[in-house]
Amino acid sequence: MSTLSWEEFSRVELRVGRITHAEVFEKARRPAYVLQVDFGAEFGVRKSSAQITELYDPATLIGRLVVAVTNFPPKQIGPIMSECLVTGFHNEDGAVALCVPDQDVPLGTRLM
């Protein structure tokens, strides 16, 4: 594993957001959802594509807090423009479990 400096790490903006909308990404090559994530007044609502269909249904995602990278440039993923990267971990079966805070924190709060 390579190491990175604190300066390099500090450039990555990992922020807390709340999923406000989730729907099946019909045109995705691999099963995915299109999410809208609210990062609060300062950062607004951003769209993301997330391959989390094995463990989550769209209805159960609404209102959940997530951790996302918010300073990647927008990326075209099929017909949608992804504006953040929602983070997660592969479980033993390869399904993605969301990375989430275990307490409520203000939207837009940056990971320290």
Task: Look at residue 49 in the predicted model and tell me its pLDDT.
Answer: 97
What region does 108 belong to: left with phi over 0, alpha with psi -120 to 50, or beta?
A: left
In a domain, residue 111? The reply is no
The answer to whether residue 108 is domain-embedded is no
Residues 63-94: tens digit of each pLDDT: 999 999 999 999 999 999 999 999 999 999 99
Residue 22 domain-assigned (yes or no) = yes
The verdict on residue 91 lying in a domain is yes
Residue 112 located in a structural domain: no
Instruction: Calculate what percentage of the chain has a pLDDT beyond 70.
Output: 100
CATH number, domain of 41, equals 2.40.50.140
Hey, what are 100's tokens?
């989430």
Residue 110 in domain: no
According to the model, what pLDDT value does residue 112 have?
86
Boundaries of domain holding 41: 9-103
Which of 51, 42, 106, 41 minimizes the C-alpha distance to 82? 51
Count of domains for the chain: 1
Closest CA relative to residue 96, chosen from 21, 35, 13, 5: 35
**How many other C-beta atoms are found inside a 10 Å radius of the C-beta of residue 47?**
16
Question: 3 in a domain, yes or no?
Answer: no
Does residue 4 fall inside a structural domain?
A: no
